[in-house]
Chains A and B, each alone.
Chain A
Amino acid sequence: MIKYLCKRIARSLLTLVIILTVVFCLLRLMPIEGYFQNFDKLTETQIQVGLQEMGLTDPLPVQIVRFYGQLLQGDLGVSRVYRANVPVMDILADKIPLSIRLGSMSLLLALIVGLPMGGLMARFKGKFFDKFGTLFIVFIQAVPAAVYYLFIQMFGTELLGIKMTFDAEDWRSWILPVLSMSLGNIAYYGMWMRRYMVDESTKDYVRLAKAKGAGGSRITFRHIMRNAIVPLAQYIPTSFLNTVIGSIYIESLYSIPGMGGLLVDVIKRSDNTMVQAIVLLYATVGIIGLILGDILMVILDPRISLGKKAGGR
């Protein structure tokens, strides 16, 4: 297992390098117009000087080597367009904690509500609770988030008697963003939990347990849930790590200065250093999430093996 993990981590570093290189090259395909804040008004000379200064006139391999050289020294570079001449690290350092805080709160809420909800729905399949839960899930799935977020903000702030925009100092203004953000995940976890549990409950070992005379709740929670949670568990670490990405809708609506929409923003504004830094961050997070997810799956279900080559083809 340890050996497997070491190998896996080494491979992940390789993956990161590939990702960054691919993104780096893709970004160089973008038109140069984006590199300048005021492209329209600049003279040809200024553009040339600017490109030279950014090292964009060098051949691609040279640029890549230089990029990795800086990266190894822990230098992510300075933003060019998003916030001219400000180090990327400084920009991200302000934003990441807020998004993580918001995201993990909402994810926790989603897990606390979503998993039991799915479990209970499966337990009482076809009964009132199942129908009610399904209705909720269907609603959340069906209505675009962009729309119901807006309704929640509009009526929620009125109901709570608070301002429409976010204020980190006021705990009440956290309620609606966290709640809005968690709704989608509640539905997601609820839906798949129910699905997997229903699938599991027709399996033979459940029939056997029933035949043995085990009680309904005991079967549901000791046998079925444990098996049903396996495929879901894989996504949980990723979900937590992904909170760093933030939510573009929520953060725009409530004026929350987090990471949400930052990537889209910097890509659209061709701020390459920012894009590279964010891609690096997200990719790292994604890969760690994947590893943790696999580990978690192995732990929860001993039948699954990752490292051993037994029976391999």
Chain B
Amino acid sequence: MRKLVSGILSAAMVASLMAVPAVAEETADSTYHVLYSGENSTLNYLVTSTQAEQVCGANTIDTLVEYDNKGNVQAGLATEWGVSEDGLTWTFTLREGVKWVDHTGAEVAEVTANDFVAAMKYQLTPEYESANVQNFFGKIKNAEEYFKGLAGEEGYEEIAFEEVGIKAVDDYTLEYTLEAPCPYFLSTLVYVNNMPAYGPQLEELGESFGTDNEKMYYCGAYYMAEFEPQVKHVYKKNTLNWDADQVYIETIEKTYNTEAGTIGPEMIKRGEVDEASIGADILDAWMADPETSELISKERSDTSYSYFYCMNFNPNFEEEYAPANWKLAVNNENFRKAVQFAVNSIATISISEPNAPQQYQSKTITPVTFATLDGVDYTQNEAFTSLEYQGFDMDKAVSYKEAAMEELTAEGATFPVTVLVKYNPSSNDWDKECVVLEQQVEYVLGTDFIDIVVEAGPSENFLSEVRRSGEYALMKCNWGADYADPETWTDPFYQAEGDDLGYKYQFMRTAINEGTAAAADVQTYFDLVEEAKSYTIDLEARYDAFAKAEAFLIDKAFVIPYGISVSSYICTKLDVFEGQNAAFGISRLRYKGMSIKDHYISMTEFEENANK
């Protein structure tokens, strides 16, 4: 037996030593090296809704239209397009001679209108679990009916796919039929759900489409040459792309490392990677060091997400936090206003962005620069500029506090009002923000008025456990734009009768259902939104009406505007302003148009580039 043991030992030793062959090092100049810390679970762009997984689709599949680096729409796979007079039928003329290539870059077939139809059919098949299928509902004619019919949902019958509003008139003409006129339809095209996929391949692979780089074809600026999960992703330039002249980076090599946040910065110092993000925790130290401060720039600011504090109208938490008392308080306008004015988002934003937090602060739900009309930013609409709420104001907070105390005492509320604030412990810095929030707001309003209790929620299933079940009083929520129109920002708040309120935010409709003090105001808001939605042709009237509704929501302090996603500080050799840009969609994920510089961009350069 002892011999056996030593036999095993030596076998293991031989096995372990054998497999270490010699080295070959190569670094091409136009290869962009970067670390990534979360692995894709799929490359199938037709089913995923996470940004990280859409990177693949964004760079390897082209869309009908594209945005340039200033955010203007330009031709993509479609060379021309037009809309019928009733605004319901959009017709696209496709570019001829665009090729599908495989993972070696070899030509496979031509991209035709049928590939768009096939891709939509794939997504409308319930068993493929496409996360973006709802983007079609209410937009593309009969998409919802077809999908729900297939799934056998009650009240729906199976209908033929031909009745869905997408049609390949011929190989190079694609026609979309909408349910209702949609002024922002073009913007929705630059998203994964409207990308093409080679029809015969989809048919053949079905569920396993996109599970590997060999199991999909590419027509975009790059093709995925290597996909070794948890090792690396290698994108290579697709020389057959119709716009290959605009693609400057030859190879993009992404290396997996779950500790990218810790070792990435050090690798920048050693020049081993071309990009790494610099966390707020080490930012000060990097800025203070003259050598490293030259290496830091930022991401291009992102207006596709907005953050705000929601006040829950249907408190569903444990008795010890007095949900009934909170319900009284939240229905009181003065109480809401006191809290609204007392929250200083600068204090919390500066946890992740200590240097210029005010850049990311919002006074509206719709982010600045999200939409413009006749050169005027949507958030500069008169409805917003005339609002009383213009951010943190200590004096106003205190005066509303006094008014609220008087009214609420009369209604039988007890003080201090317990405010349960929950956070997801697996979400970066959220815990820290809550601690700061607690201290800051309690300082302004006094602990005689308000007692903020910060509690960690479960790190798994946070949404369903906390937000959807109403287990919070006050919580920071966010919403991402689904299309380039202000309507997208009303989606979480507008709650029609019969909606599953768990999927909306803060249960405002509960006030109406239960007839509590805030019911009238909530109803007014819903009416305002409905009115705004009815303007489909006159953009000015539409924008004015949506601005009015949103301003009302803020004025009645149903929400507390907070800010937009903080652009993280990064070290990069790219000029981020060369890339495509749009407030919605996957444009920002594309490498097309960007070129690798021979040095890391500094902050001054970044600002120069921004103003170019």
Check whether chain A touches chain B (CB < 8 angstroms).
yes
Contact of A164 with B41 in the complex, beta carbons under 8 Å: no
Contact of B41 with A37 in the complex, beta carbons under 8 Å: yes
Contact of A37 with B42 in the complex, beta carbons under 8 Å: yes
Name the contact of A86 in the complex, choosing from B2, B25, B212, B461 (C-beta under 8 A).
B212
Q: How far is it, in angstroms, between the C-alpha of A31 and the C-alpha of B466 when the chains are bound?
A: 14
Residues on the A chain within 8 Å of B127, using CB? 49-50, 53
Instruction: Name A167's closest neighbour in chain B (CB-CB).
Output: B23
Instruction: Name B21's closest neighbour in chain A (CB-CB).
Output: A169
Residues on the B chain within 8 Å of A36, using CB? 129
B233–chain A nearest beta-carbon distance, Å: 12
Q: Is A143 an interface residue (CB 8 A)?
A: no
Contact of B229 with A37 in the complex, beta carbons under 8 Å: no
Contact of A257 with B256 in the complex, beta carbons under 8 Å: yes
Contact of A42 with B266 in the complex, beta carbons under 8 Å: no
Q: Is A60 an interface residue (CB 8 A)?
A: no
Q: Is A70 an interface residue (CB 8 A)?
A: no
Q: Is A184 an interface residue (CB 8 A)?
A: no
Q: Is A261 an interface residue (CB 8 A)?
A: yes
Contact residues of B: prevailing secondary structure: loop
Which B residues, 14 to 41, have Cβ-Cβ distances below 8 Å to chain A?
Answer: 15-17, 19-25, 35, 39-41
A260–chain B nearest beta-carbon distance, Å: 10
Q: How far is it, in angstroms, between the C-alpha of A172 and the C-alpha of B20 when the chains are bound?
A: 9
Contact of B132 with A45 in the complex, beta carbons under 8 Å: no
Q: How far is it, in angstroms, between the C-alpha of A8 and the C-alpha of B335 when the chains are bound?
A: 70
Residues on the A chain within 8 Å of B9, using CB? 108, 111
Contact of A169 with B258 in the complex, beta carbons under 8 Å: no
Tell me the count of chain A residues lying within 8 A, CB to CB, of chain B.
63
Which B residues, 237 to 269, have Cβ-Cβ distances below 8 Å to chain A?
Answer: 255-259, 262-263, 266-267
Q: Is B464 an interface residue (CB 8 A)?
A: yes
Asked, given contacts A38-B48, A101-B16, whether A45 binds B464 with beta carbons under 8 Å apart, the answer is no
Asked, given contacts A49-B127, A108-B12, A296-B5, whether A169 binds B463 with beta carbons under 8 Å apart, the answer is no
Q: Is A135 an interface residue (CB 8 A)?
A: no
Q: Is B356 an interface residue (CB 8 A)?
A: no
Q: Is A204 an interface residue (CB 8 A)?
A: no
Name the contact of B1 in the complex, choosing from A34, A111, A299 (C-beta under 8 A).
A299
Residues on the B chain within 8 Å of A154, using CB? 263, 266
Q: Is B228 an interface residue (CB 8 A)?
A: yes
Residues on the B chain within 8 Å of A261, using CB? 258
Binary interface encoding of chain A residues 28-49 relative to chain B, with 1 for a CB under 8 A from any of its CBs, else 0 = 0011011011101111111011
Residues on the A chain within 8 Å of B211, using CB? 83-86
A144–chain B nearest beta-carbon distance, Å: 15
Contact of B48 with A37 in the complex, beta carbons under 8 Å: yes
Q: How far is it, in angstroms, between the C-alpha of A240 and the C-alpha of B16 when the chains are bound?
A: 13
A83–chain B nearest beta-carbon distance, Å: 6
Tell me the count of chain B residues lying within 8 A, CB to CB, of chain A.
63
Q: How far is it, in angstroms, between the C-alpha of A51 and the C-alpha of B35 when the chains are bound?
A: 35
Q: Is A153 an interface residue (CB 8 A)?
A: yes
Residues on the A chain within 8 Å of B171, using CB? none
Contact of A38 with B151 in the complex, beta carbons under 8 Å: no
Contact of B148 with A45 in the complex, beta carbons under 8 Å: yes
Q: Is B444 an interface residue (CB 8 A)?
A: no
Contact of B272 with A163 in the complex, beta carbons under 8 Å: yes
Instruction: Name B229's closest neighbour in chain A (CB-CB).
Output: A83
Q: Is B131 an interface residue (CB 8 A)?
A: yes
Q: How far is it, in angstroms, between the C-alpha of A30 and the C-alpha of B461 when the chains are bound?
A: 10
Contact of B208 with A85 in the complex, beta carbons under 8 Å: yes
Residues on the B chain within 8 Å of A268, using CB? 460
Binary interface encoding of chain A residues 73-88 relative to chain B, with 1 for a CB under 8 A from any of its CBs, else 0 = 0000001011111100
Q: How far is it, in angstroms, between the C-alpha of A253 and the C-alpha of B37 when the chains are bound?
A: 11
Q: How far is it, in angstroms, between the C-alpha of A168 and the C-alpha of B15 when the chains are bound?
A: 14
Q: Is B207 an interface residue (CB 8 A)?
A: yes
B51–chain A nearest beta-carbon distance, Å: 11
- The 10 sampled A-B contact pairs (Cβ below 8 Å) are A45-B126, A49-B127, A86-B208, A97-B19, A101-B15, A150-B262, A164-B270, A171-B23, A295-B1, A299-B1
Binding site for A on B (CB under 8 A): 1-2, 5, 8-9, 12-13, 15-17, 19-25, 35, 39-42, 44, 47-50, 126-127, 129-134, 147-148, 151, 153, 207-208, 211-212, 228-231, 255-259, 262-263, 266-267, 270, 272, 460-461, 463-464, 500
Binding site for B on A (CB under 8 A): 30-31, 33-34, 36-38, 40-46, 48-50, 53, 79, 81-86, 91, 94-95, 97, 100-102, 104-105, 108, 111, 150, 153-154, 158, 163-165, 167-172, 174, 236, 240, 252-253, 255, 257, 261, 268-270, 295-296, 299
Q: Give the 4 A-B residue pairs with the shortest CB-CB distance, closest first.
A: A38-B131, A41-B131, A252-B258, A104-B12
